[in-house]
Amino acid sequence: MFLTVRELKKSFGGIHALQGVSFKLDAAEIKCIIGPNGCGKSTLFNILTGVLAPDSGTAHLDGTQISGLPAHRVSRLGIGRKFQVPGVLSDLTVMEHMEIALAARDTDGLLLRTLGWRGGRAAILKQLETAGLTDYAGQIASQLPHGIKQRLEILMLVARGARLLLLDEPTAGMTAAETQATIDLIRRINKETGMAILVIEHDMAFVRNLSCPLIVMMRGQVIREGSYDEVRADPQVRAAYLGDHHA
């Protein structure tokens, strides 16, 4: 099993944010985590990225325990996280941001020595094409439209060589067209790189269109796993989360 999460618990004072969360993710698998505000989704990602240590329970990536490790070590093991809000992109071009991400992956210089600088550029251009960003290669990243920034950040994580992508509400604030482009990008990255991907998402249209197994969280627990249709038909999920207006 690629990612194994066992009985994670985390409290903040009297708030039991996680009350024994367990699930698994295969290599090259995509799963979507849904659940109401405050149910512990971001806390889970904070533990998986080493931002927080759990009170108890474990998380293993490819056999290595990652829970309790500091964030820089988890990042080096290949977990890349995309936050809900775009990070600060600088006044460098899209191409230059990608070059920096590629160089960051390549701490021993082996990749760029093998590929050469032109090879590195070609690899980046191919990734930009995958994301529909070719036309933006020469543009200043800080001035890009919101949806394009979000996609660039995902691509930078790929260029850095992540093996597991954690995306926290990647389509927040996007138009329907941008949301669909992000779904296409997630699928293509998964298919072309075999990267495993966990997505937290609120937008049920996104969840339906991504069409992957779902993990439903409520009050710090996983209450259901299954396909979109299975989850939607579950009375407990309907009552607790979806509500009849989503039916």
Q: Write out the residues near Mg ion by the rule CB under 5 A.
A: 41-42
Q: How many residues bind ligand ADP (CB under 6 A)?
A: 11
Cβ at position 172, least distance to Mg ion in Å: 10
* Helix (H/G/I), strand (E/B), else coil: 108: coil
Which of the stretches 40-48, 98-106, 153-161, 224-232 binds ligand ADP when contact is defined by CB under 6 A?
Answer: 40-48
| Residue 49 lies near ligand ADP (rule: CB under 6 A) | no
| Residue 53 lies near ligand ADP (rule: CB under 6 A) | no
Sheet order of strands, 164-168 included: 79-82, 164-168, 196-200, 30-34, 214-218, 221-226
Distance between CA atoms of 138 and 229, rounded to whole angstroms? 43
The option from Mg ion, ligand ADP, none interacting with 150 (CB < 5 to 8 A, set by class) reads none
The option from Mg ion, ligand ADP, none interacting with 40 (CB < 5 to 8 A, set by class) reads ligand ADP
- Binding pattern to ligand ADP, positions 6-25, x when CB under 6 A? ------x--x-x--------
Q: Quick one: which of 25, 40, 61, 97 contacts ligand ADP (CB under 6 A)?
A: 40
The answer to whether 59 and 68 are in contact (CB under 8 A) is no
Q: Quick one: which of 23, 29, 31, 43 contacts ligand ADP (CB under 6 A)?
A: 43
Distance between CA atoms of 158 and 154, rounded to whole angstroms? 7
Q: Return the number of other C-beta atoms located less than 10 Å from residue 170's C-beta.
A: 26
Burial 59-83 (b: 16+ CB within 10 A, else e): bbbeeeebbebeeeebbeebbbbbb
Cβ at position 17, least distance to ligand ADP in Å: 3
State the DSSP H helix or E strand holding residue 42, giving kind and residue range, or none if neither: helix 41-48
Reported as half-sphere exposure (CB side, CA atoms, 13 A), residue 104 has a value of 18
In the complex, residue closest to Mg ion by CB: 42
Cβ at position 21, least distance to ligand ADP in Å: 11
Q: Which residues of this protein are in contact with ligand ADP, per CB under 6 A?
A: 12, 15, 17, 35, 37-43
